[in-house]
Amino acid sequence: MIVGGLTTEYCVKNTVLQLCRAKFKVIVNLAACRGFMKTTADAAVIAMEEAGAVMVKNAQGLSA
């Protein structure tokens, strides 16, 4: 699953964590996400990575 959306700290993070718990391979396209505040968005990214999601900076990272 490739995920992006608004807001990184809430909708994106909750969706990603649910998908990770359901054992999906989750890729978060950070260019397709927007956070409310940098500090909370950064914390959300860390939580998603710790849950097993893979972060890519943009769509070009999907081909790697």
51 exposed, middle or buried (CB, 10 Å; 0-12, 13-18, 19+)?
middle
Q: Are strands 54-56 and 2-6 parallel, antiparallel or unpaired?
A: unpaired
Region 41-48: what's the mean pLDDT? Answer: 98
Distance of CA 60 to the CA centre of its chain: 16
Residue 60: which pLDDT band, with cuts at 50, 70 and 90?
confident
Segment 3-30, tens digit of pLDDT? 999 999 999 999 999 999 999 999 999 9
Question: How far, in Å, CA of 36 to CA of 7, rounded?
Answer: 6
Average pLDDT on 42-61 reads: 95
pLDDT of residue 64: 55
pLDDT, the chain, mean: 95
